[in-house]
Each structure stands twice: as C-alpha cells, then as structure tokens.
Amino acid sequence: MGPDRGARHLWILRHAKAAPEATWGGRDRDRPLTERGRRDARALGTRLADEHPPLGLVGLAAPALAVCSGAVRTRETAELVLGATDGRVPLDAYGSLYQAEPDTVLTYLREVDEHAPSALVVGHNPTMYLLAWDLLADGSTDRDDLESAGFPTCGLAVLTLSVDAWEDVTPGCATLAGLFAPPY
C-alpha cells in the first residue's frame, strides 16, 4: 500500500545523545554526539533504509527531504540517519532552528516542496516534543501516548498530517503513526 493521498507524513527526530554540557567546555551549539549517539543514529538510519515499509509503518512515506538545526549534534544525527539512504534524501541545516520555538519549525515545514510526501525534521528538546504535541489533536489519546513515552535522545515521532499541502500544516492536524526510541 502506498502513501495516503491527501496526507503528508512528518518524521520528528530529537538529536541523538550528545557530549554532556558540563564536560564539553565549548559552545553548546558545538557539542558533538557521543559514541552511543552515533550508534543510535546509524541504527535508526539502517532501519529506515532496510525495512519496507520503513519501521513497519504501512502506508507511510519514508522521508523525502530533511531539515535540521545548525547545531553540530543535530547535523551529525541527521547525516548519520540519512547516510544509509546513499544521498537520496537532501538535507538542509538552518542556524535559526537552533533554540527555535515550534512556530519557527512550522514556518520551515510550510515551505516544503509540495511534491514531497514526507519530511524529516531533526532538532532539540523541548521543541521537538512540543512540535509533535502541538500538531496532535487537543485531547487525543495520541497526546497521551506521546506524554507517556516522553522524547528521549534519538527519539522519533512519526505523524500523519491531514493536509493536502505543506502550507496547510496547522496545530491539531495530525495523528500519531508511531513512536520509536533507541535501541533501534
């Protein structure tokens, strides 16, 4: 079964485990992934590339493009996850997504090419959690599931957006297709 017509799919990924801020000594935006973070991101990428349908989500399109924060840890996470796709998924990193609010991320999502059935966004908490929360319907059991699961490092929420075009993405337009966390 192919992707649902009239729906878009959003893959929301929190960056993988990064060097602790207390021991890093540099700027927060320059913190790299730990070995565990690199392992988790690679494992997720392998599953996305090798499983058909990806992560067992029948009817959902794998990410066709990706955007991420310009921070080192988000770029590394995105590059490792997408590395398994042999360069088929374009990635754009934006400095303005570092410490962004969910509304800023929505602005970027509304600019996604109309022909892309799905997109991956890689960022930081609490923004990634709040983005997923805002897109899920108020009072839905999907929000209960998200709250119960939390959003650990390298955590992934996959949403089905009930919109025909990316420019139509608004709070409450989504349902939860799946929640995933390491180990992958």
Specify if 3 maps to a domain: no
- Could you give the 3-state DSSP secondary structure of residue 168? helix
CA 136 to chain centroid, in Å, comes to 15
Instruction: Decide if 138 is inside a domain.
Output: yes
Structural domain contains residue 2: no
Name the residue among 18, 15, 125 with its Cα closest to residue 66.
15
Cis status, amide bond into 3, omega within 30 of 0: no
Order of strands across the sheet with 156-161? 91-94, 66-69, 118-123, 8-14, 156-161, 174-180
Whether residue 95 lies inside any domain: the answer is yes
- In this structure, is residue 1 part of a structural domain? no
pTM for the full predicted model: 0.94
Q: Is residue 96 part of a domain?
A: yes
Is 28 inside any structural domain?
Answer: yes
Which pLDDT tens digit goes with each residue over 28-38?
999 999 999 99
The residue range of the domain holding 29 is: 8-180
- From CA 17, how far away is CA 164, in angstroms rounded? 35
Which of 79, 159, 81, 152 has the alpha carbon at shortest distance from 118?
159
The pair phi, psi for residue 57, each rounded to 5°, is -90, 85
pLDDT band at 77 (very low <50, low <70, confident <90, very high): very high
Q: How far apart are CA 11 and CA 66, in angstroms?
A: 9
pLDDT digits (tens, 9 = 90+) for 36-70: 999 999 999 999 999 989 999 999 989 999 999 99
- Is residue 67 included in any domain, yes or no? yes
CATH for 156: 3.40.50.1240
| pLDDT of 86 over the 90 cut | no
Tally of domains within the chain: 1
